[in-house]
Structure 1
């Protein structure tokens, strides 16, 4: 196969091994993060992701949680109901604009459960990623992934 020339757009085939390494790195990093978080909670990763998403916004519709976490609606509904039963979430009554949508928010118990989860997750990200890069490398990586996200959202919106 000929080497790419200046101005050529490299094919994905040309970088297949790099792509595979990137995917594998993401999987291993996620496993390390979830292992650290598992030391501070009995919640499953999908459950603490739901708790985290709601905790960051105050209150959310379940459909928005599913969209933002990329977890299926039926799975999110089950998780939300389980988290309500455990006392970590409560249904919001003050969202009257659409009675068909269920809005939820953290309880005090939910906030107490979420705080060490966020600390463990953030510590793992800092140690495993941020500390391995210069601030400019980290900024560049984040900017690149933001571009990727925006392009992927554009494609998803086209369907």
Structure 2
């Protein structure tokens, strides 16, 4: 890599390491949940009937089924989500956001958004935000494997 490429790559890797830990720390302190749990609950909130098949939820959250199953077990124990057999396919399992899960998500949102604003949004000019959105769209398209803009999630 040349100097420009190296600086960009190391900057990206550093942010990818530091940002999740900062988001986890804030959410754990304020809401008792991890950033991944928050993400799972957010995806469910925007799903039809706030319910998804576990396989679709794993795909949407870029998770493995074993990791997602472990997280859903923790969410179930806290009453934030529940799992049940899929009515269309008895071999599949659905996961649903509970009213308690929706309330926990709503309570967690202000602190999470304030942290995102403090760490990223407010640190950048409008032009830098546009550039960041363009750059991350290109990278997401490559990571999704089809080279196309990534499908929308609750966060973009």
Q: TM bucket by the smaller chain?
A: 0.7 to 0.9
Bigger radius of gyration, 1 or 2? 1
| Structure 2 residue 7 is the aligned partner of structure 1 residue 17 | yes
Q: Secondary structure at the match of 2:96?
A: strand
CA contact (8 A) 2:82 2:95 kept: yes
Match of 1:30 in 2: 20
| Paired residues, number | 143
Residue ranges of structure 1 left out of the alignment (5+ in a row): 1-12
Q: Out of 118, 126, 147, which is 2:109 matched to?
A: 118
CA contact (8 A) 2:45 2:97 kept: yes
Distance 1:45 1:132, change over 3 A: closer
Q: Secondary structure at the match of 1:71?
A: coil
Structure with bigger RCO (C-alpha 8 Å, 6+ apart): 1
Match of 2:92 in 1: 101
Q: What's the TM-score, normalizing by structure 1?
A: 0.77
| Structure 2 residue 18 is the aligned partner of structure 1 residue 42 | no
CA contact (8 A) 1:61 1:104 kept: yes
Q: Secondary structure at the match of 1:40?
A: helix
CA contact (8 A) 2:51 2:96 kept: yes
Q: What's the TM-score, normalizing by structure 2?
A: 0.79
Distance (Å, rounded) in 1 between the aligned partners of 2:39 and 2:64: 13
Report the aligned-residue RMSD. 2.1
